[in-house]
Structure 1
């Protein structure tokens, strides 16, 4: 079930769902900008490309990411687009292997990143605080705001909010 976003568009979730993600890896930019869900189902190839972009780059491992997480990211972009802002979500972290997670400063021991259910990132020229507020509005899961590092965390777990360093 997608997050509770309507934003004046009651048919938002019945339309094809697009996600625009970017990530810098080894000095180059990887990008996925396509519809991953249409006609009531995940579209295999775009979904796989999104999962690959959201992989653990340190371990070189990809997993099946949560479709609900992709819906949350789609919803964030939908709200931004409704306000005239159509930019990619820049990924800091998606899936993390247990080894990568344990080596990540400040990471929760049982992080949803290790289940492919969390994303950390930002949107160019858009405050992380605004992304966090949109994610809270969607009520899709947990939302963490890291002002000093200018990124936010979203996951498809239980509803909760926090501020990081």
Structure 2
């Protein structure tokens, strides 16, 4: 199957553009990441349909499978989501019978998210997801690892830059 390319897609061998070209869409790393993210979401939508999950719900389940029961706040920290975004996701997962929300006995303000038996069992079926995603990328396992490491470095650098650019720092 031929891969779709976007007009003006950059190649790795291109030389740096003159400053006048910096505002071209095909020169924006943010757009390349955005396009890749949308492409990933399209593939995940198809693959996760078998599990009855959306991509954001899948991310919640990944954290719970890895970490076990967590307060909503900690779950949000892992996923880089605020409670306003996370709460509806968890409610839908609860409605599907995959998780249970419980108020903490120690702190009424804290809500603990726990996997149900059905949610824990879904992990087994989800094991095929990473293999299918890897196949969809056409990348080798080492390439995926290297890309993930670079993206993690990029995220850390951008987090630092965002803090430095914040109004209270000026």
Of the two structures, which has the highest relative contact order with CA contacts closer than 8 Å and spacing of 6 or more? 1
TM-score class, shorter-chain normalisation, is: under 0.3
- TM-score, structure 2 as length reference: 0.23
Structure with greater strand percent: 1
Structure with greater helix percent: 2
Over alpha carbons, which structure has the higher Rg?
A: 2
- TM-score, structure 1 as length reference: 0.24
